[in-house]
Amino acid sequence: MIKRTLFFSNPLRLSLQYSQLVVETRDKSRITTIPIEDIGFVLFDNMQISVSLPLIEALVANNTAVVFCNSKHFPQSMLLNLEGNNTHAEITRNQINASAPLKKRLWQQCVQTKIKNQAAVLRSMGKKNAELNAFANNVKSGDPDNREGAAARIYWSRMFYDGFIRERFGKYPNNLLNYGYMVLRAAVARALVGSGLFPVLGIHHKNKYNAYCLADDIMESYRPFVDKTVYDIWLNDPESDDLDKEKKAELLKVLTMDVQLDKTRRPLMLALSQTTASLAQCFAGSAMKLKCPAFGN
């Protein structure tokens, strides 16, 4: 079942009634109701939104990723259900006991798929991508030669313009990329927890200040889907660097766009769950490879 993505950016009162999310204006006039079971992702982007605790409990129990934005309108925190999988303890033990060679092979696959998808994105734009395909075919276990970084330098300059640098506080459209990646990261964390995995224990990322290292690992192969969406927004509005409601809404659509996985097209959020489930199988020794997405046909 395709889960809905909800974006709230106006002052509202949100509550729970009969397993429905109830949306009301500040004067208590009801706007709409939405079944909790249909919701997969909720983003709150207004400091005057009030949310009842019973609603929060119901959303989390439904394994809904609940994301809160800060006063600058960027995603800052999220709620995740740590009891969404009945074999969570066993899966976490497998994750903790995963060998270094296994983690390196998994990271190799993440990087290979990311670069292949970057090459496919460039191809869809009619831009040269031969070097990226060559990099993807030469990624070694653990990527000790940093093919990921070498591919990125070519990729970003060809995607937007010569000299474009991808950095957190860089020039437009870096702000769009930041926002899109934060949304994707939350969706990946939701899928990981649903598969019984612990997001803090990464296979490559190991920053002690990062509570979502594994999400940062697994989202790599999905980043190009955000990139293409950002490119389309930038192409239609290359001068304005505003991150308005319309652009945010477009970026949220990434979660429902179709991706290719196992020769079948499915919405990105469903694909994420299959990717994370395959990761749990790799940790358990019942699978050898991740199920990763492919950009394009």
The domain total for the chain is: 2
Whole-number Cα distances in Å, 228 to 16, 56, 139, 151 = 36, 33, 23, 16
Q: What is the CATH number of the domain that holds 8?
A: 3.100.10.20
The pLDDT value recorded for residue 208 is 82
Do 184 and 275 lie in one domain? The reply is yes
**pTM attached to this predicted model:** 0.90
Continuous H helices in 38-129:
53-61, 88-96, 100-124
Residue 291 lies in a domain: no
pLDDT digits (tens, 9 = 90+) for 22-69: 999 987 777 899 999 999 899 999 999 999 999 999 999 998 989 999
Displacement of CA 239 from its chain's centroid (Å)? 26
Residue 15 lies in a domain: yes
Residue 289 lies in a domain: no
Report the 10 Å Cβ neighbour count for 115: 31
Indicate the SS3 state at residue 21: strand
Helix axis angle for 223-236 and 174-194, nearest 10°, is 150
Last residue of a domain, one of 33, 50, 79: 79
pLDDT digits (tens, 9 = 90+) for 175-228: 999 999 999 999 999 999 989 998 999 999 988 888 899 999 999 999 999 999
pLDDT digits (tens, 9 = 90+) for 110-124: 999 999 999 999 999
Residues 7-25, mean pLDDT to the nearest whole number: 94
Residue 290 lies in a domain: no
Handedness of CA 138, 144, 150, 155 (dihedral sign): positive
- What whole-number distance in Å separates Cα of residue 123 and Cα of residue 216? 25
168 pLDDT more than 90: no
Domain that holds residue 123: 88-284
Do 158 and 256 lie in one domain? The reply is yes
130, two tokens? 């031969």
